[in-house]
Amino acid sequence: MTRDPIQVTHLSERPARSAVGEQAIHESAALHVTGHALYTDDLGVRLAGLLHAWPLQAPHAHARLTRLDVTPALAVPGVVRVLTAADVPGENDSGVKHDEPLFPTEVMFHGQAVCWVLAESTEAARLGAQAILAEYEPLPALVTLREAIAAESFQGNQPTLRRGDVTLGFEQATHIFEGEFEFGGQEHFYLETNAALAQVDENGQVFIQSSTQHPTETQEIAAHVLGVPSHLVTVQCLRMGGGFGGKEMQPHGYAAVAALGAVLTGRPVRVRLNRTQDLTMTGKRHPFHASWKVGFDAEGKLTALQATLTSDGGWSLDLSEPVLARALCHIDNAYYIPHVEVLGRVAKTNKTSQTAFRGFGGPQGMLVIEDILGRCAPLLGLDAHELRQRNFYQPGEATPYGQEVRHAERLARVWDELLASSEFAARQQDIASFNAAHPHARRGLAITPVKFGISFNFTSYNQAGALVHVYKDGSVLINHGGTEMGQGLHTKMIQVAATALGVPTSCVRLAPTRTDKVPNTSATAASSGADLNGGAIKDACEQIRARLAAVAAGALLPLARQKVGALGVHPDDVRFEHGRVFAVGHPGLALDFRQVVHDAYHLRTPLWAAGFYRTPGLHWDREAMQGTPFKYFSYGAGVTEVEVDGFTGAYKLRRVDLLHDVGESLNPLLDLGQIEGGFVQGAGWLTLEDLRWDESQGPGRGRVTTASASTYKLPSFSEMPEVFRVSLLQGAAESGVVYGSKAVGEPPLMLALSVREALRQACAAFGDGGREQPLASPATPEAVYWALTAAREAGAAAPVPSVAGAD
């Protein structure tokens, strides 16, 4: 079909009266709170003959599978089949890098599935797995990041980010400091665990319901495991009970197991991990180790940074390479560093394959520079917030990878507005008075900035499609490639479509994300869901609207009808607003949208359109680590006040003030919720969530020891700040983005860096100041106790600190 010319509008242009910008509630809110929202695992009970899958998990971190006898499992009542490598008609691999055998012969982490039992019930499948005879030859295992570094166990590319000459930068420095820093990962702990449901129709086509952020990639992996083309596999994602990046690549293998089982048995197959299985079989946020050397001039301005970042990638590559690349691209955070040399490496360990997590490496890179500044500020005789502000990007300056920091002045604007609204200076004085009067408790106050690049750093992923149908009664159905994991993407897309077509949101329904409706989609990740899919929906709607405008104007009507049923103007002068169609300047003489649609149908006008959007202006040289990988930067800042108990290290968040730049919000209600949720999740990573593996040489080596909610501490109501103030930056519309909005998914997580820096200030206050104050991450109460104890002991031992590594 020939694409019609459309009315040209700027992507960011927003009508005076529009659905975008309204504080609309989440489109599934009522379903969520009443329990009527359906998730992948809710769909299986509707299918006759459903089989349930259960994995046999290996009890070793690294071992060779020497025997696998599944015969005893088949004798268990209810067991129908056991899936092994011999059953795979296509490729026995579930990874895009072809390094993740679906049915391995060499076990690479404790808890890896070596086969799957299919049975009439979950209990029968579990008992069947228990009956399988498996024997293993244990092999040496690398469990810690330091072990992998010592063994030089690395995988994938080793990129280097360079600008200027660090040797020259250090020669220009008045002060030089060195250090290292190791910090932990994070469990996604989404409410809904990984789940997939597969069935086969009479033509052999496979239909998979999957809790996945990337339906297209799930489709491709399932197809190559089955040895069939992608058009024989359809993947649908109704909704997810959370994803946070953990369902970008990890669901593919589970969907492939369900599909393989359905093809081989001819019956629907359900895979749903229980919580322990999900925690022991799926990837986490990457832990990192950083070694660094930094230089400052006499005024505290950064002159050079030299560092090596090593991430713990686990047993396979997964997304470790792009996660590392984003960490390198965000190690500058909000600060201009003239001379930079940062090497990145991915360690290979015998642990779950670490994967995407909200921020995708950005938080890890930003944590490194914030830790450096927090540790160096007292050595320079500066308040930490003053050191940070002195090093902010200025207009016209560029990142180490060569991209200009557009709207850099917003950093200062956000910073100054938040300092004022949070009463930062006055509270500093109050805290000093409190600390002087309370020998066994200390308070800390910190402010940290955020500059986060928005777009996939793999340029090809920055595209999206949409399919929009307008029916004869004026109702609208939209399909897009983004997935809903609770973040409100679908709600925003309904608002975008309603705005573009000029109809109420009640006229618009959104269909589940399916690969047979919108193909070749990118993952819903990188905070790009609204930007990409919103652009595609707007494109499709504007094609339809242009056709309807021609009808309403009278250009396509018979001469007799032009006098009574048309506006009699040029199509460019037709406007659509809240279900009414009128000529510019004459809103009172309006046609009903439904009548225009009715007329258009009878004039044989197409009432559907496929939309497409690709982010313009991006280019990236992965080898040189240079280019323009991001469409724009999101800015923000957070102020946190904490109080720490000197006897236990326990602490509470007294007050949090956040100010964040979301452009001109598509939905302020949803955006505020995303900022609050992102901040709390970031605070959890930095202060509470302590992932542990068994590092002993015993039989449990490599086992995840924090494999339940009883051993892995998540943020709860008791960790919420007593005062929590969240605001959106006003007057911040972003040109070139759908309706002037900005991404909101990932950037707010890094606002929680202010929590860790406030804890550092409180710990340092137990000493006499002027010393470097190290602090572990996560800064659990135990870690805080040891940090404040070190500060107290250092203050008592020597009145004048001796600073190691400082010139």
Number of C-beta neighbours around residue 807 at 10 A:
11
DSSP assignment letter at 105: S
CA distance 209 to 215: 9
| The amino acid at 529 | G
Which positions are annotated as active-site residues?
Answer: 746
**Residues with Cβ within 8 Å of residue 152, at least 6 apart in sequence:** none
> Terminal CA-to-CA distance of the chain, rounded, Å?
70
3-state secondary structure of 26: coil
CA distances in angstroms from 117 to 46, 194, 384, 588, 773, listed in the order given: 21, 17, 57, 67, 53
Rounded Cα distance between 406 and 424, Å, is: 27
Q: Are 638 and 709 in contact (CB under 8 A)?
A: no
Q: How far is CA 224 from the centre of its chain?
A: 27
Pairing of strands 632-645, 441-454: antiparallel
Amino acid found at 760: R
Distance between CA atoms of residues 169 and 337, nearest Å: 9
Kindly report the number of other CB atoms within 10 A of residue 439's CB atom.
9
Measured in whole angstroms, how far is the alpha carbon of residue 506 from the centre of its chain? 30
- Residue whose tokens read 């106790």: 785
Q: Distance between CA 47 and CA 41 in Å, rounded?
A: 12
Q: How far is 608 from 469, CA to CA, in rounded Å?
A: 4
* Best CA proximity match to 61, nearest among 2, 108, 100, 105: 108
- 668: preceding bond cis by omega (within 30 degrees): no
Backbone angles phi, psi at 777, to 5 degrees: -135, 120
